[in-house]
Amino acid sequence: METKYEVSVTAIGNLARTFLENNNSVIILDEGVRPNLADMVIEHTASDLKEDIVKGDKLKFGNSEYTVVSVGDVVNDTIREEGHCTLVFNAEGSMPGQIILKGPARPVLSLGTRISFFKK
C-alpha cells in the first residue's frame, strides 16, 4: 500500500481520551503548533501529506485499521497546514474538518503510536 501520510503520537492531552470515550473521536495536530489546545488534542510529529485523503483510503492507527467513509471539505488543507483534523470512529459526522472512519473498536491511545493513511 502506498502511504499518503504518516506520523507518530508525541503527546496525548488529558481531554483527548475523554473525547474518544464520549464522542468516538480524536483531534490530531502537529506538536507545538497550538499550545493552547494541547489538553484537547493528540499531538504528533510533523509530516507532509503526499496525496489527498479520499473516501475508500485506509487509516492504520496503531494496530487497528479503518476505512475512510468520508472526508470533510477542509481536511486535506488543514492536514497540510498544521497536521490537523478530527478522526471520527464508527460514528456519524459531517463537519468540514472531520474524517469519518469505519472499522474495529476505538483505537488505543499511547505515545509513539503510528497514524498512517494509505491509498485505497
Q: What is the pLDDT of residue 93?
A: 77
Q: Which CATH class is domain 3-118?
A: mainly beta
Q: What is the pLDDT of residue 1?
A: 77
Give the domain ranges of the chain: 3-118
Q: What is the DSSP string of the chain?
A: --EEEEEEEEEE-HHHHHHHHHHSEEEEEETTS-GGGTTTSEEE------S---TT-EEEETTEEEEEEEE-TTHHHHHHHHS-EEEEESS----TTEEEEESSSPPPP-TT-EEEEE--
Q: What is the pLDDT of residue 120?
A: 79
Q: How would you write the pLDDT of the chain (120 residues) with one tens digit per residue?
A: 799 999 999 999 999 999 999 999 999 999 999 988 999 999 999 999 999 999 999 999 999 999 999 999 999 999 999 999 999 999 887 899 999 999 988 999 999 999 999 997
Q: Average per-residue pLDDT in the chain? A: 95
pTM: 0.95
